[in-house]
Amino acid sequence: MIPLAARAATVPSPFNAEQQKRFDEGFQRAVAKYPPERRRAALLAALHLAQDELGWLSEPAMAYVGHLLDVPPVRVREVATFYTMYRLRPVGRHHIGVCNSVSCWAMGAEKILAHCAQTLGIQPGETTRDGHFSLEEVACLASCGTAPAVLVNNFRYVENVTSQTMDRLIEKLRGMPGQEMTPGPAARLPGHHHQAATTAADSGSTERK
């Protein structure tokens, strides 16, 4: 097997030095969880790590991760487009996911979603023009006893939400920098449905939303 450093040298890294350090640490930990001949299994983890650094999965990031794990580009893309937590274009620096599965729906999630849409001036699936917020309707978060539930920035649960608590949350997030997005194709802006910037493969994944 070619040493890691030698392989990486052949595909440019999308990270700056600080990002590279964090990514490398996480990557070594992720790969170490599997038997050496099964290191490709770390693909999902490696994509998470890349997205943690860049905010989304750019083409160079996918190429780099695929190269490190010796996974063909088509396989990387297959995985990146299959799972909803991976972003194939920049989203807002703060991402608000409102659960609208059955328990949350019964407890008024549609009102919460509509309220957020009105407050932010965007529809679910869109990003505000200043790039600060995106809004999305998400599937069951396993938080049904504290419905309606909201997931902020992929991992933070906010539960028993009301329109008032969402207002306070949005106000608070306005003052926080959030996840910096590596520059790339335009995010989905209001009234701007990404025809120009969308690649053929991207549209496959947006359709699933």
Partner 1 sequence: MTKILTVDWDKPESWLLRTYGDYQVLPKALKMQPQQIVDEVVKSNLRGRGGAGFPTGMKWNFVRKETSFPKYLVVNADEGEPGTFKDREILLRSPHLFVEGLVIGCFALDCHLTYVYCRGEFREGPVKRLQGAVDEAYAKGYLGKKILGSAFDLDMHVVFGAGAYICGEETGLLESLEGRKGYPRLKPPFPANAGGGLFKQPTAVNNVETLANIPVIVEKGGEWFSNIGLVPKNGGTRLFAVSGHVKKPGVYEAPMGISFRRLLDEHCGGMREGSVLKAIIPGGSSSAIMTAAEADWASDFDTLKAKKTMAGSGGVVYLDQSVNMAQALANVMRFYAHESCGQCTPCREGTAWLSRLLDKIVAGEGEKQDVDNVHQIARQMEMKTICALADGAAMPAKSYIEKFRADFDGLVRG
- Our CB check for partner 1 shows the closer of 6 and 142 to be 142
- Our CB check for partner 1 shows the closer of 146 and 192 to be 146
Q: How far is the CB of 78 from partner 1 (least distance, A)?
A: 5
For residues 149 and 88, give the distance between their C-alpha atoms in angstroms, rounded to a whole number: 25
Grouping H, G, I as helix, E, B as strand and the rest as coil, residue 192 is: strand
For residues 20 and 18, give the distance between their C-alpha atoms in angstroms, rounded to a whole number: 5
Residue 22 near partner 1 by CB under 8 A: no
For residues 39 and 27, give the distance between their C-alpha atoms in angstroms, rounded to a whole number: 11
Span 104-163, contacts to partner 1 by CB under 8 A: 105-107, 139-147, 151, 154-157
Distances (CA, A) of 116 to 59, 100, 120, 160: 31, 13, 6, 15
Binding mask 75-114 for partner 1 (x = CB under 8 A): x--xx--xxxxx-------------xxxx-xxx-------
Residue 206 near partner 1 by CB under 8 A: no
Q: How far is the CB of 140 from partner 1 (least distance, A)?
A: 4
| Cα-based angle 88, 140, 106 (whole degrees, multiple of 5) | 130
Distances (CA, A) of 9 to 13, 68, 97: 8, 10, 37
Give the one residue of 61, 62, 71, 158 binding partner 1; rule: CB under 8 A.
Answer: 71
Residue 1 near partner 1 by CB under 8 A: no
Give the one residue of 49, 54, 68, 69 binding partner 1; rule: CB under 8 A.
Answer: 69
Taking alpha carbons only, the member of 1, 91, 107 closest to residue 51 is 91
Residues that bind partner 1 (CB under 8 A): 33, 35, 38, 40-45, 47-48, 69, 71, 75, 78-79, 82-86, 100-103, 105-107, 139-147, 151, 154-157, 208-209
